[in-house]
Amino acid sequence: MAEPAQRILVVDDEPGIVKVVRKQLELTGFAVAVATDGVSGLAQAREARPDLVILDLMLPKLSGYDVSATLKQDAQTRHIPILMLTANARPTDEHTSRQHGADGYLTKPFALDDLLSRIRGLLAASASNG
C-alpha cells in the first residue's frame, strides 16, 4: 500500500502565488490545502495538522508572525515546520520570523526549485526529529 501524500497548508492572500505554489506542489505529489487569511490558516493548521505550513507574513485578520507563534506555543502543533514565504526581504524580517517560530524563510519572488528544496529539507528535518 502506498504511503499517503504529505500534506502542506499554504496560507497566503495573493491568488497568483497560491495558484503557482499549489500547482507545483500537487505536481510534485503533495496534498495541498489553502487558507487566504491568518485566522483561517490557524484554524486549518489546528484541525488538519499538516506536515508543513507555508506562511505569508502579511495576511488579513492575523499576521504570519502571530500564526507562527501561536502554532509553536501549542503542544498539538509545535512540531509542524513553518516556512515563511514573503515579500519582506529585510534581514530583520527573517530574524523576527525565526523568533516567532518559523523554521525556514524564503523571499518572493522565488524559484520553484528553491521552494521545493526548502520544503524537502524541512520535512526531512521534521521526520528525523520524530
Residue reference for cell 503542544: 75
Tens of pLDDT, residues 23-64: 999 999 999 999 999 999 999 999 999 999 999 999 999 999
Give the domain 7-128 fold.
Answer: Rossmann fold (3.40.50)
Helix-strand-coil split of the chain, %, nearest 5:
45, 20, 35
pLDDT tens digit sequence for 98-118: 999 999 999 999 999 999 999
- The CA distances from residue 37 to 15, 73, 97, 114, in Å, are 12, 20, 17, 24
How confident is the prediction for the chain on average, in pLDDT?
93
